[in-house]
Amino acid sequence: MSSSTSLFGRAGSRYSSLSPIGKRKFWGFLTLLFAAVLLHDLQPGAYVFAQTESGEQVEAGSADDSDHDHHDGEHAEGEHDAAHGDSHGGAGGDDHGGGHANPVAPVLAGIVVILFFAKIGGDLCERVGMPAVLGELTVGIIIGNLDSLVGINVLHFMEPPASGAHPDGFDPGAILYILAEIGVVLLLFEVGLESTVGEMMKVGVSSAIVAILGVVAPIALGYGVGMLFFDGWEVPLFLGATLCATSVGITARVLKDIGRSQDTESQIILGAAVIDDVLGLIVLAVVSGAIAAASAAGPPPTDANATLAEGGEAASVAVIDDASEHGATSLEWQIVQIVLLAIGFLGGALLLGNLNFPGAVFNYASSLRGHGLLVTFALVICFLFAFLANYMGLATIVGAFAAGLILERVQYEELETKEAVELEEAIRPLTAIFVPIFFVEMGMQVDLMSFLDSSVWGLATLLIIAAVIGKQICSLGVREPGLNKLSVGLGMIPRGEVGLIFANEGRKLVSHGESVIDTSTYASVVVMVMVTTVVTPPLLKWSMGKAEETGDLPPDEAPPRIG
């Protein structure tokens, strides 16, 4: 006993003598050891979901546990009862089987893997001056391609469901994907919170023109690039919509780091990015709706003459022409309806904001007792708007952004004072958990084997060129003389998380039975997003620094008025 006490005493003394860096390394080593043990336990077949006759999926353990718990496995009802008993830790199964039978276990394991390695990847990127989102995306790419890279498939249970698939029961990959979708809703809500309607009205003429050009030019260039690789208009148009996105967060952080966030160019960039977010979401809603409407209308008639009956050729051709004309007219009308619906939804949200609907909700919340009322009722508004947007045929992220946009501090200031926390700070722990899950999931959907196809690299290269040129065109909207237009254009280049969100929406869209953004196209879009995100910080620092050295942007002078 004394020897063991002495051993623990020496160990404690040794730990106390470690420097802060040494202690961090110690706990990091223990965490990695725990992760290694966890991965070793999650061998292929450790989590297998058995389909019962009732359609419910229950998780079984290893083959030995299955034999022990389910006996001969011949009776579906008996299997269900045994699995049900195990999942509740009943006496019918041993401890090992009962632990593995809990369907939540693999989901928890997936969350552990995602969050742990996402934070490591984000830290490594931030250490070299890159956005954390790149590290999270890279981690997802590695996890999703472990099998093809090193022949390890222990994380196969984390794979997201195929596009358009609707898995039944407790599919860990599907549940993680749902958590990722919640993450992107929270992300857009947070982006909306950082913008206000008042800011949109004050950005000035230059910011408005820059934003409009920054949407129109990339869409046109992206559509042209897409027409070189794809038949039809659906995929090229969605590629153009993806290029119109701008990640203001990346540019804002660079400008803050170099101490130039108050320059006129910076104000134009940030103001334009706010309008660009709104226009981009409207474009996304319109393009997605148009593709869905075209898919619902069915493919155009082909080889019609081969099926015409003898003697009725002229009449049949007339009928087909009339049907085609009617279909085109119907599609055009549906597109008009979608445009009106998207604008109407955002307009309705702004109207509710002006009518102080959020203020009424928060005033009621202030009368309640309990903790966390501020963030709870903020999320109630966020999720309500996201649901209503989806109900009206729009993307949930449109509703989440609108919810954040209409929230003003004056509406919930009383609750902030009561709980001694700002809403942005209160919601940050949630986004710190759910948003990395989204980016890792986006990376997991990248198939590295698709890069063996040279056309993927060709499409990615042209998309990068179009992305850069399109945002440089928008800098022509700067009206004030003597400003650094190059910096404005460079500041609008990064697609970042917004480009990934658009690409994710494209993977959900199905046109004539196929995903609009297939695996190869998605890989090309991810390359474009990563490149534009990586090159922007150094280019923007160089451009702003060069302008200061040449005297074009005296830092001591007050910036001229925008507009």
Tell me which of 216-220, 315-319, 392-396, 540-544 is least confident: 315-319
pLDDT of 3 strictly over 60 = no
pLDDT band for position 297 (cuts 50, 70, 90): low
Tell me which of 195-204, 231-240, 363-372, 489-498 is least confident: 195-204
Per the listing, tokens 């150094």 go with 538
Residues 33, 145 contacting (CB under 8 angstroms): no
Distance CA 345, CA 335 (A): 15
Mean pLDDT computed over every residue of the chain: 75
Distance CA 472, CA 532 (A): 13
Strands 48-51 and 514-515: unpaired
pLDDT of 64 strictly over 50 = no
Helix-helix angle 104-127:172-193, to 10 degrees: 50
Residue type, 144: G
pLDDT (average), residues 137-160: 82
pLDDT (average), residues 306-334: 49
How confident is the model over 241-289, as pLDDT tens digits?
889 877 766 777 677 766 776 677 877 887 787 778 778 888 888 888 8
pLDDT band for position 355 (cuts 50, 70, 90): confident
What is the per-residue pLDDT for 465?
A: 94
For residue 274 the two structure tokens come to: 């706010």
What is the per-residue pLDDT for 495?
A: 80
pLDDT band for position 306 (cuts 50, 70, 90): very low
What is the per-residue pLDDT for 535?
A: 84
pLDDT band for position 15 (cuts 50, 70, 90): low
For residue 49, the surrounding DSSP H or E stretch is strand 48-51
What is the per-residue pLDDT for 202?
A: 64
DSSP state of 236: H
pLDDT (average), residues 184-195: 84
What is the per-residue pLDDT for 164?
A: 54
pLDDT of 61 strictly over 80 = no
pLDDT of 553 strictly over 60 = no
What is the per-residue pLDDT for 220?
A: 93
Residue type, 493: I
Distance CA 356, CA 21 (A): 50
How confident is the model over 89-133, as pLDDT tens digits?
443 444 444 445 687 888 898 999 999 999 999 899 888 878 788
What is the per-residue pLDDT for 112?
A: 93
Residues 142, 149 contacting (CB under 8 angstroms): yes
Task: Say whether pTM exceeds 0.75.
Answer: no
What is the per-residue pLDDT for 482?
A: 77
Nearest to 134, CA basis, from 118, 155, 148, 145: 118
Share of the chain above pLDDT 90, in %: 13
Strands 510-511 and 57-60: unpaired
pLDDT of 35 strictly over 80 = no
More confident residue, 379 or 46: 379
What is the per-residue pLDDT for 31?
A: 64
Q: Which CATH number fits domain 104-298+330-546: 1.20.1530.20, 3.40.50.720, 1.20.1250.20, 3.40.50.80?
A: 1.20.1530.20
More confident residue, 336 or 186: 186
pLDDT of 235 strictly over 70 = yes
User: Could you tell me which residues are beta bridge partners of residue 49?
Assistant: 59
User: Could you tell me which residues are beta bridge partners of residue 51?
Assistant: 57
User: Could you tell me which residues are beta bridge partners of residue 60?
Assistant: 48
How confident is the model over 476-495, as pLDDT tens digits?
888 877 788 888 888 888 88
Angle at 28 between CA 26 and CA 30, to 5 degrees: 75
For residue 31, the surrounding DSSP H or E stretch is helix 20-41
Residues 346, 402 contacting (CB under 8 angstroms): yes
